[in-house]
Homo-oligomer: A and B are copies of this chain.
Amino acid sequence: MTSNKGIIIVVSGFSGAGKGTIMKELTGRYDRYALSVSATTRDPRPGEVNGREYFFVSNEEFEKLIAEDGLIEHAGYVDHYYGTPRKFVEDKLKEGKDVILEIEIQGALQIKKQYGDAVLLFVMPPSAKELKKRLTGRGTESSQVIDERLKRAREEAVGIENYDYIVINDDLDECVIRVHEIIDAAHNAPSRNLDFINTIRKELNEL
């Protein structure tokens, strides 16, 4: 019914809040979403595949992308660069897809500046204790890395009010439905339905 134009959905949240799992579920369940793949200069973790989790690139390649205006946002995080390639996002929006970007707050704010009607979501754990438990439970990180992530979470928590919505990831299924509903609602903004509104206006004047 309402707008079929694609929306940029930015998803941020503390490491360990479950962003990745939510996004995987969401894009698996609904055809409407396209998940943007970031470029990064960090090394792959075990199991990560180039072009699936990230495009793994060298510092030189990354800086070339910046120079060519090939990224719609980029940021540094724990000694590495992360950025969102422009072409994929703009192609998918044109196709009418909602494009999901899983990025940090600096990037989120860059996106909001360029794409004013992007929807910014912040995924939160039900409690800080639960966050620590999830980070520890992964078993892939040293306690030093976990401490760094918790430190980073404290910093990110300061910026939550810059987001349009928070989503609490307690029950995964409920959370995925909630994210989908929020995006659905966003499609109903008047600014995303100007063609329909103007058609009705025209029709009313012709009655």
Residues of A whose CB lies within 8 Å of any CB of B are: 1-2, 122, 124-129, 131-132, 150, 153-154, 157-158, 160-161, 163-168, 170, 174, 178, 181-182, 184-186, 188-191, 193, 196-197, 199-201, 203-207
Report the copy number of this chain in the oligomer.
2
Contact of A189 among B165, B168, B189, B193 (CB under 8 A): B165
**In whole angstroms, what is the CA distance A153 to B178 when docked?**
34
Q: Are A204 and B128 in contact (CB under 8 A)?
A: yes
In the complex with contacts A157-B197, A197-B160, A129-B203 CB distance below 8 A: yes
Q: Which of A150, A157, A166, A206 has the most CB of B within 10 A?
A: A166
16 contacts between A and B (CB under 8 A): A2-B166, A2-B168, A122-B190, A125-B200, A127-B200, A128-B203, A128-B207, A132-B207, A154-B201, A160-B190, A161-B197, A164-B190, A166-B189, A166-B193, A166-B196, A168-B196
